[in-house]
A and B are shown apart, each in its own frame.
Chain A
């Protein structure tokens, strides 16, 4: 049989437990809008019963722990999706920049400059004797060359920007790794001294989420409460230690490795993965297509031009000159017009016979972009360029589709996470009333027991 003082004790415990539970409710309400916050639940359990002559007698309630309602599986899913999303959205962003550089379809893209070049040769074919038409050809060639250079340099410039961004991303990975390791330290210490580290865990999870936007990570929890992180097969957080990463410039490509031992990482996801993919594969691929086009323009035009004849200004001049190339070189987007032609436009070989009015070569060069000369004679330069531009469009579109798909999945996962871990104000209000009523009743009980004790004391 419980004594009055024991009942008093039970009521007191209940008061404390309801108060503490109200504290948890209050914490939840306060953080209803806090990013990364995981709702907590006061775990009220019955206290150890006491043996009595009729059996084990209840001794009341206590708040045994505050649990954090978090689903690890959703976290893993969230991070996998997040790194895929950020990879795709980074690539999509860079693709729009590439599209802006290429600037097609428009009236100012490279295509219109190629057309301008052909047009100038057509005009020269109409009046091969005319100096103006010759100057016009040179002008259009330099416009074509500029257009090509603009795209090529635009892409190179973009690569330069990407390098700076890659470097910033690597720094971000390192600093996030440091923060996670710091949280690990605090959480392990708290766990060791049996303290609740719920809010620290929220902050740590938030940092890990943030890390998953930058790189593809694997997070594994150890028995002491720490979370170890590896990036592309290389460990970067081991409990309280971090292994910093650094950017390595391999001349034609960039890679990320550990600072200490040069251990290479396989980064395939996150914004860093997208950046590396663009920098190492996509942009160089486009530049090499442009190189093929530039080389082919030079070779095809030169082949026709070298076989033609320049213009004799006077009948008494020596035989019309032949064998002059039109372009002297092509490298890295720069098509250089033979300087001899700029000095003396009469060297431009419009004629196929040496006669001043003949326009055989001019006619051929005017149509040179339609001759299947590329990919082993399979496609013309016009077709090659159209395919090139169309490929950029298709690549860009597929990246933005991927971004949209991953965004949908991430929204789903985020919904699941919020559904499980988010604070519901309705629920907290209901709990508040529940705890308040229990608190009221416990207080009443204290009062009642006090009255009962008073009764006994009065008896004496």
Chain B
């Protein structure tokens, strides 16, 4: 083959610019620490990055939701415990009152019971984060009010039922509230306490039906407390799972997206050597012609 100066100059330029292009690409990969800087660097890898980012984002959101749900449920559990305590004290008072015989004796218990009723009313109207936690989904309206006119407890006319759920895992929701219906059978528990107070203050023993209602309310509170506890445990488990998932998602993403710095630097060194060699050879070969010898 006939080799002219242009051939030599062009192949020299081609090899130098090819080396420079590779060095430039490696440089970008090292400085951004990412091997996928544009989708065209690796279209399938880039799609994985997008999918993983979506999953990580969901994961973070689930964790936020769990924190919120836990806070709600913890407040609920505390309130339920406080309510249970009141009922224990109430039961004690009623037991002691049952041994009384004089109407005036009953009267002396009435004050205590009224106190307890107030406490219970406050507990059932607990609000957290601007929500009445026992209002079911009617979180903006006070669930229970004492109506002095009728001397009864009135419940929010829209009810106190409904569950509030938040996403805690893909396709999984967890209840974040215990409704007034569930915890206190609506206004039944409060009205039972109120009836007991009315009976005592009028000097009579609360009826068997009222006593039964109070026992039922206590049992109900017990059941609901257990349910709250298991929900809290479940939330904890979800949280742990999400954290470990997040770690593994991040490590997968890093594998897809991040530059292997050591490998990139070795490669860079290699390309630099190639470039040096090309330049040296070019510098030696190109200037030589027959002119130098005649």
Contact B139 A390 (CB under 8 A): no
Chain B residues positioned under 8 Å from A358 (CB to CB) = 137, 162, 164
Contact A424 B5 (CB under 8 A): yes
A115 in contact (CB, < 8 A): yes
Return 24 A-B CB contacts under 8 Å, by A number: A105-B53, A127-B129, A129-B130, A315-B158, A353-B137, A355-B136, A355-B137, A355-B138, A357-B135, A359-B164, A386-B51, A390-B44, A391-B43, A393-B39, A393-B40, A393-B43, A393-B47, A415-B11, A418-B7, A418-B10, A419-B2, A422-B7, A423-B5, A433-B294
Shortest C-beta distance, A333 to chain B (Å), equals: 20
Chain A residues positioned under 8 Å from B136 (CB to CB) = 355, 357
Contact A105 B49 (CB under 8 A): yes
Contact A397 B43 (CB under 8 A): yes
B262 in contact (CB, < 8 A): no
Distance A115 CA – B54 CA, assembled complex (angstroms): 7
Contact A111 B53 (CB under 8 A): yes
Contact B290 A426 (CB under 8 A): yes
Contact B65 A122 (CB under 8 A): yes
Contact A122 B50 (CB under 8 A): no
Chain B residues positioned under 8 Å from A353 (CB to CB) = 137, 162
Contact A415 B61 (CB under 8 A): no
How many residues belonging to A are interface residues under a CB distance threshold of 8 Å? 59
Distance A96 CA – B37 CA, assembled complex (angstroms): 11
Contact B2 A420 (CB under 8 A): yes
How many residues belonging to B are interface residues under a CB distance threshold of 8 Å? 54
Distance A457 CA – B40 CA, assembled complex (angstroms): 90
A residues 365-421 with Cβ under 8 Å of B? 366-367, 382, 385-387, 389-394, 396-397, 400, 411, 414-415, 418-420
Smallest CB gap from A421: residue in B: B4
Chain A residues positioned under 8 Å from B149 (CB to CB) = none
Smallest CB gap from B36: residue in A: A105
Distance A358 CA – B138 CA, assembled complex (angstroms): 7
A334 in contact (CB, < 8 A): no
Contact A389 B39 (CB under 8 A): yes
B166 in contact (CB, < 8 A): yes
B203 in contact (CB, < 8 A): no
Contacts beyond the supplied A100-B38, A400-B40, A429-B294: 4 A-B pairs with Cβ under 8 Å? A111-B50, A122-B64, A392-B40, A424-B5
Q: With A129-B130, A386-B47, A424-B5 as given contacts, are A102 and B39 in contact (CB-CB < 8 Å)?
A: yes
Contact A105 B257 (CB under 8 A): yes
Indicate which residue in B7, B11, B54, B164 contacts A357 across the interface (CB closer than 8 Å).
B164
Smallest CB gap from B61: residue in A: A122
Shortest C-beta distance, A70 to chain B (Å), equals: 14
Shortest C-beta distance, B151 to chain A (Å), equals: 23
Contact A386 B2 (CB under 8 A): no
Distance A217 CA – B292 CA, assembled complex (angstroms): 44
Distance A102 CA – B54 CA, assembled complex (angstroms): 17
Smallest CB gap from A420: residue in B: B2
Indicate which residue in B14, B162, B166 contacts A125 across the interface (CB closer than 8 Å).
B166
Please name the 10 residue pairs, one residue from A and one from B, whose CB atoms are nearest each other, closest first: A393-B39, A357-B139, A422-B4, A355-B137, A393-B43, A396-B40, A429-B290, A390-B47, A358-B137, A394-B43
Contact A104 B4 (CB under 8 A): no
Distance A167 CA – B124 CA, assembled complex (angstroms): 76
Most buried by B among A355, A394, A396, A397: A355
Chain A residues positioned under 8 Å from B47 (CB to CB) = 386-387, 389-390, 393
Distance A22 CA – B158 CA, assembled complex (angstroms): 111
Indicate which residue in B57, B177, B294 contacts A119 across the interface (CB closer than 8 Å).
B57
Contact A355 B158 (CB under 8 A): yes
Chain B residues positioned under 8 Å from A126 (CB to CB) = 65, 68, 166
B258 in contact (CB, < 8 A): no
B198 in contact (CB, < 8 A): no
Q: With A356-B141, A359-B165 as given contacts, are A118 and B294 in contact (CB-CB < 8 Å)?
A: no
A185 in contact (CB, < 8 A): no
Contact B14 A129 (CB under 8 A): no
Indicate which residue in A315, A396, A415, A425 contacts B38 across the interface (CB closer than 8 Å).
A396
Contact with A along B144-181 (1 / 0, CB 8 A): 00000000000010100010111100000100010000
Most buried by A among B38, B140, B162, B257: B38
Distance A423 CA – B2 CA, assembled complex (angstroms): 10
B266 in contact (CB, < 8 A): no
Contact A111 B46 (CB under 8 A): no
Smallest CB gap from A432: residue in B: B294
Distance A358 CA – B49 CA, assembled complex (angstroms): 35
Distance A302 CA – B289 CA, assembled complex (angstroms): 78
Shortest C-beta distance, B279 to chain A (Å), equals: 19
Chain B residues positioned under 8 Å from A430 (CB to CB) = 290
A99 in contact (CB, < 8 A): yes
A241 in contact (CB, < 8 A): no
Chain A residues positioned under 8 Å from B167 (CB to CB) = 122, 125, 363, 366-367
Contact B164 A104 (CB under 8 A): no
B209 in contact (CB, < 8 A): no
Smallest CB gap from B288: residue in A: A426
A residues 110-137 with Cβ under 8 Å of B? 111-112, 115, 118-119, 122, 125-130
B residues 115-133 with Cβ under 8 Å of A? 129-131
Distance A386 CA – B52 CA, assembled complex (angstroms): 11
B208 in contact (CB, < 8 A): no
Most buried by A among B36, B158, B177, B290: B290
Distance A100 CA – B38 CA, assembled complex (angstroms): 8
A residues 17-55 with Cβ under 8 Å of B? 32
Distance A358 CA – B51 CA, assembled complex (angstroms): 30
Contact B290 A389 (CB under 8 A): no
Distance A367 CA – B57 CA, assembled complex (angstroms): 12
Distance A126 CA – B289 CA, assembled complex (angstroms): 82
Shortest C-beta distance, B48 to chain A (Å), equals: 9
Q: With A105-B39, A355-B158, A359-B164 as given contacts, are A429 and B4 in contact (CB-CB < 8 Å)?
A: no
Contact with B along A286-329 (1 / 0, CB 8 A): 00000000000000000000000000100100000000000000
Contact B137 A411 (CB under 8 A): no
Distance A145 CA – B129 CA, assembled complex (angstroms): 31
Contact A356 B138 (CB under 8 A): yes
Distance A198 CA – B76 CA, assembled complex (angstroms): 97
A95 in contact (CB, < 8 A): yes
B residues 35-80 with Cβ under 8 Å of A? 36, 38-44, 46-47, 49-51, 53-54, 57, 61, 64-65, 68
